[in-house]
Amino acid sequence: MKIRKARITDLKQVHKLINDFARREAMLPRSLNELYETLRDFCIYDDREEICGVCALHIMWEDLAEIRSLAVDSKYQNKGIGKNLVKQCLKEAKMLGIKRVFALTYHPEFFKKLGFEDIDKARLPQKIWGDCLRCPKFPECDEHAVIINL
């Protein structure tokens, strides 16, 4: 198993994995079109061409990025794959010179184990005015915001 950047040929499997979680209301759905447009954001955890997990680092501003679309196939959970995917995204953020990385999540404790801290969503205006306004849950978002300073 290895972590690598996503390729075009991965996106249909990624789409299925993300939207399987979205159907259970564990994350927001992503369209295939959106995945093609943000391909470069994604890291894949793969086991001989089977996508086991996925995570994206989406740049929001000059000093701010978001961890999004973290999903690990149920048969691969509790093996450290999600943690390793987030660590890979944080490594990439550091390499790019990004100072802060946040996530909106239903599992804040997972991120806190990796050094993230709670933050009020109101302190993330780039996210709110960029993505949240288009979300069907806005303004009644039930996700928790966490952030880490790099």
Phi, psi of 71 (to 5 degrees): -145, 135
Range of the domain at 44: 2-149
**Assessment of whether the complete model's pTM goes beyond 0.75:** yes
Please give the residue that has the higher pLDDT: either 1 or 129.
Answer: 1
Residue 133 pLDDT grade (very low, low, confident, very high; cuts 50, 70, 90): very low
User: Whole-number mean pLDDT of the chain?
Assistant: 89
Total number of domains in the chain: 1
Residue 97: which residues within 8 A CB-CB, separation 6 or more?
A: none
Q: What is the CATH number of the domain that holds 120?
A: 3.40.630.30
Whether residue 115 has pLDDT greater than 70? yes
Exposed (0-12), middle (13-18) or buried (19+): which is 128, by Cβ within 10 Å?
A: middle
**Predicted pLDDT of residue 41:** 97
Phi, psi of 107 (to 5 degrees): -130, 65
> Which of 27-31, 43-47, 101-105, 116-120 shows the lowest mean pLDDT across its residues?
27-31
pLDDT tens, 19-59? 999 899 888 888 999 999 999 999 999 988 789 999 999 99
